[in-house]
Structure 1
Amino acid sequence: MKYSGIGGQAVLEGIMMKNKDNYATAVRKPDGEIVVKKDTYVSMTEKVKFFSLPFVRGIFSFADSMILGMRSLTWSASFFEDDEEDEEPGKFEKFLIDTFGEKVDNVVMSAVMVFSIFMAIAIFMVLPLLIAGIFRKFIHSETVMAILEGCIRIAIFITYIKVISRMEDIKRTFMYHGSEHKCINCLEHGLVLNVENVRKSSKEHKRCGTSFLLIVMVISILFFMVVRVDTIWLRIVSRIVLIPVIAGVSYEVLRLAGTSNSKIMDIVSRPGMWMQGLTTKEPDDSMIEVAIVAVEAVFDWKKYLEENFPEQYPAGYFEREDRTGKNVQEITA
Structure 2
Amino acid sequence: MKRTSNIGGQAVLEGIMMRHGNEYALAVRTPQGEIAVEKHEYQNFFKSKKLTTTPFIRGVFNFIESMIMGVKTLMISANYAMDEDEEEDKTEKSEKKEKLMMTITTIVSFVLAIGIFMVLPYLLMNLVKPFIASYAIRTIIEGFLRIGIFVCYILLVSRMEDIQRTFMYHGAEHKCINCIEDGKELTVENVRESSRQHKRCGTSFIFFVLIISVILLLLIPVESTIMRIVIRLALMPVIAGISYELLKLAGRSENPIINLVSKPGLAIQKLTTKEPDDSMIEVAIRAVEEVFDWREFLDEGKPVS
Residues 248 and 86 of structure 1: CA distance in aligned 2, closer, same or farther (over 3 Å): closer
* Alpha-carbon displacement from aligned partner over 1:94-135 (angstroms, at most 9, x marks no partner): 9xx7xxx53110001000111111111111111000111122
3-state secondary structure, aligned to 2:184: coil
* Alpha-carbon displacement from aligned partner over 1:211-249 (angstroms, at most 9, x marks no partner): 000000000000110112221111111111111110001
* Alpha-carbon displacement from aligned partner over 1:183-222 (angstroms, at most 9, x marks no partner): 0000000000000000000000000000000000000000
TM-score between the two structures when normalised by the length of structure 2? 0.94
1:264 aligned partner: 257
Shift of 1:13: 0.3
Matches of 1:271 and 1:219, distance apart in 2: 13
Aligned partner (choices 193, 199, 206) of residue 206 of structure 1: 199
Moved more, 151-160 or 61-70: 61-70
Shift of 1:44: 5.5
Matches of 2:207 and 2:214, distance apart in 1: 11
1:226 aligned partner: 219
2:292 aligned partner: 299
Residues 85 and 158 of structure 1: CA distance in aligned 2, closer, same or farther (over 3 Å): closer
1:72 aligned partner: 73
3-state secondary structure, aligned to 2:82: coil
The alignment status of 1:246 with 2:246, answered yes or no, reads no
3-state secondary structure, aligned to 2:223: coil
The alignment status of 1:111 with 2:104, answered yes or no, reads yes
Greater C-alpha Rg: 1
Letter aligned with residue 259 of structure 2: D
* Alpha-carbon displacement from aligned partner over 1:28-52 (angstroms, at most 9, x marks no partner): 0011000100001144577332442
CA RMSD of aligned residues (A): 2.0
Matches of 1:233 and 1:16, distance apart in 2: 41
Matches of 1:215 and 1:307, distance apart in 2: 32
Matches of 2:49 and 2:126, distance apart in 1: 40
Moved more, 201-210 or 127-136: 127-136
Matches of 2:209 and 2:179, distance apart in 1: 27
2:172 aligned partner: 179
3-state secondary structure, aligned to 2:81: coil
Aligned partner (choices 172, 179, 183) of residue 190 of structure 1: 183
Letter aligned with residue 263 of structure 1: P
TM-score between the two structures when normalised by the length of structure 1? 0.87
Structure 1: which 4+ aligned runs deviate by more than 4 Å?
82-89
The alignment status of 1:136 with 2:129, answered yes or no, reads yes
Letter aligned with residue 157 of structure 1: F
Shift of 1:2: 1.8
Letter aligned with residue 160 of structure 2: M
State the percentage of identical aligned residues: 52
Letter aligned with residue 152 of structure 2: T
| Long gaps (5+) in structure 1 | 315-333
* Alpha-carbon displacement from aligned partner over 1:304-330 (angstroms, at most 9, x marks no partner): 00001336xx8xxxxxxxxxxxxxxxx
Matches of 2:39 and 2:239, distance apart in 1: 33
Letter aligned with residue 59 of structure 1: V
The alignment status of 1:127 with 2:120, answered yes or no, reads yes
Matches of 2:181 and 2:89, distance apart in 1: 50
Matches of 1:117 and 1:45, distance apart in 2: 17
Equivalent residues of 1:45, 1:57 under 8 A apart: no
Equivalent residues of 2:24, 2:42 under 8 A apart: yes
Equivalent residues of 1:204, 1:280 under 8 A apart: yes
Equivalent residues of 2:71, 2:105 under 8 A apart: no
